């Protein structure tokens, strides 16, 4: 059986380029999406010669509606594409009160709008044929308002929720959805977000991160958190959330809200 082609966003460097390397070595043809065409060409040339897979380059700025639409069309129309890796994303340095509304809008466009629109473009086709996968790259920051990256963390909380919801909706139709939650990983993201080198946290190697995430992918985990050693903590967290669900059906306010 032919292996599905995989479309990877943010494939010019970092986590996305590492996914491209790993999936090429597994024998998948690729479509690489990012803004930097030259970098993607160089990666594609190298991976083609090392693995023999076919690789297309689709340059796009995913914060621009017209260019995003081109990627959506490719996902809708190209039957060979069976896996989407929604990886493109950025950070935003500084405190909320110092971040401009425009920078916040750009971040939300890239980290959330493009992720949801690209999933929306491919999901109906995958569900109709009863297989395929969507990998969404979130972040542990989406679970940790304490880290002081409020807008970035909020976009990543969106990615986690979207993934969990889509897993419930699409899983029964044969489409596997995975959220990957890295913690600090050594890539260009930190420099691009203007982080101060001196204050950077300890980082995971990007190869270790992606290889671990792919173990989660192969196990069909819904949420993969490579840096979390004690997975009972995630189960307890998720269990506490689920224990609240029956309470949300109460029609009377809780006694503590009695006027």
Ligand X SMILES: NC(=O)c1ccc[n+]([C@@H]2O[C@H](COP(=O)([O-])OP(=O)(O)OC[C@H]3O[C@@H](n4cnc5c(N)ncnc54)[C@H](OP(=O)(O)O)[C@@H]3O)[C@@H](O)[C@H]2O)c1
In this chain, which stretch among 44-52, 76-84, 87-95, 126-134 interacts with ligand X, using CB under 6 A?
87-95
Tell which one of 25, 26, 36, 128 touches ligand X (CB under 6 A).
36
Question: What is the smallest separation between the CB atom of 173 and ligand X, expressed in angstroms?
Answer: 26
205 contributes a contact to ligand X by CB under 6 A: no
Q: Do 145 and 102 contact (CB within 8 A), yes or no? A: no
175 contributes a contact to ligand X by CB under 6 A: no
Question: What is the smallest separation between the CB atom of 60 and ligand X, expressed in angstroms?
Answer: 6
How far apart are alpha carbons 103 and 158 in whole angstroms?
18
125 contributes a contact to ligand X by CB under 6 A: no
Tell which one of 4, 7, 10, 31 touches ligand X (CB under 6 A).
10
- Residue whose entry in the numeric block shows the structure tokens 């001196």: 198
Q: Do 8 and 30 contact (CB within 8 A), yes or no? A: yes
How far apart are alpha carbons 90 and 190 in whole angstroms?
9
Instruction: Show the 3-state SS of 150-170.
Output: HHHHHHHHHHHHHHHHHHHHH
Q: Is 19 a catalytic residue?
A: no
**For residues 174 and 227, which CB has a smaller minimum distance to ligand X in the complex?**
227
Q: How many residues bind ligand X (CB under 6 A)?
A: 29
16 contributes a contact to ligand X by CB under 6 A: yes
- DSSP letter for each residue of 236-254: HHHHHHHHHGGGGG-SS--
Tell which one of 5, 139, 178, 224 touches ligand X (CB under 6 A).
139
216 contributes a contact to ligand X by CB under 6 A: no
* Binding residues for ligand X restricted to 45-74, rule: CB under 6 A: 60-63
Question: What is the smallest separation between the CB atom of 228 and ligand X, expressed in angstroms?
Answer: 13
Distance of CA 99 to the CA centre of its chain: 23
Q: Do 187 and 144 contact (CB within 8 A), yes or no? A: no
Question: In which element (H, E) is residue 81 found?
Answer: strand 81-86
How many Cβ atoms from other residues are within 10 Å of residue 148's Cβ?
A: 12
Question: What is the smallest separation between the CB atom of 112 and ligand X, expressed in angstroms?
Answer: 10
34 contributes a contact to ligand X by CB under 6 A: yes
**For residues 62 and 123, which CB has a smaller minimum distance to ligand X in the complex?**
62
Looking at the DSSP bridge assignments, the partners of residue 34 are 59
Retrieve residue 133's tokens: 């996968």
178 contributes a contact to ligand X by CB under 6 A: no
How far apart are alpha carbons 74 and 20 in whole angstroms?
18
Tell which one of 50, 188, 231, 235 touches ligand X (CB under 6 A).
188
Distance of CA 244 to the CA centre of its chain: 27
Binding site residues, ligand X, CB under 6 A: 10-16, 34-36, 39, 60-63, 87-90, 110, 137, 139, 182, 184-185, 187-189, 192
Q: Which residues are catalytic?
A: 152
């Amino acid at each position: 059986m032919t292996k599905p082609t995989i479309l990877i966003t943010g494939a010019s460097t970092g986590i996305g380029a590492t996914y491209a390397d790993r999936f090429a070595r597994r024998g998948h043809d690729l479509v690489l999406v990012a803004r930097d065409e030259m970098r993607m060409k160089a990666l594609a040339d190298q991976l083609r010669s090392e693995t023999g897979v076919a690789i297309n380059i689709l340059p796009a700025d995913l914060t621009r509606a017209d260019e995003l639409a081109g990627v959506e069309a490719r996902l809708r129309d190209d039957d060979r594409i069976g896996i989407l890796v929604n990886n493109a994303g950025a950070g935003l340095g500084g405190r909320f009160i110092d971040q401009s509304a425009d920078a916040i809008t750009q971040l939300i466009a890239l980290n959330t709008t493009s992720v949801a629109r690209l999933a929306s473009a491919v999901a109906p086709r995958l569900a109709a044929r009863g297989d395929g996968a969507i990998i969404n790259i979130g972040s542990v920051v989406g679970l940790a308002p304490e880290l002081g990256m409020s807008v970035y963390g909020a976009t990543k909380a969106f990615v986690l929720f979207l993934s969990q919801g889509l897993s419930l909706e699409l899983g029964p139709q044969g489409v596997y959805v995975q959220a990957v939650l890295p913690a600090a990983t050594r890539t260009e993201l930190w420099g691009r977000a203007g982080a101060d080198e001196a204050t950077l946290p300890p980082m995971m190697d990007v190869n270790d991160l992606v290889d671990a995430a792919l173990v989660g992918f192969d196990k069909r985990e819904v949420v993969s958190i490579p840096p979390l050693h004690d997975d009972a903590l995630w189960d307890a967290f998720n269990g506490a959330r689920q224990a609240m669900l029956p309470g949300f059906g109460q029609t009377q306010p809780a006694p503590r809200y009695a006027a």
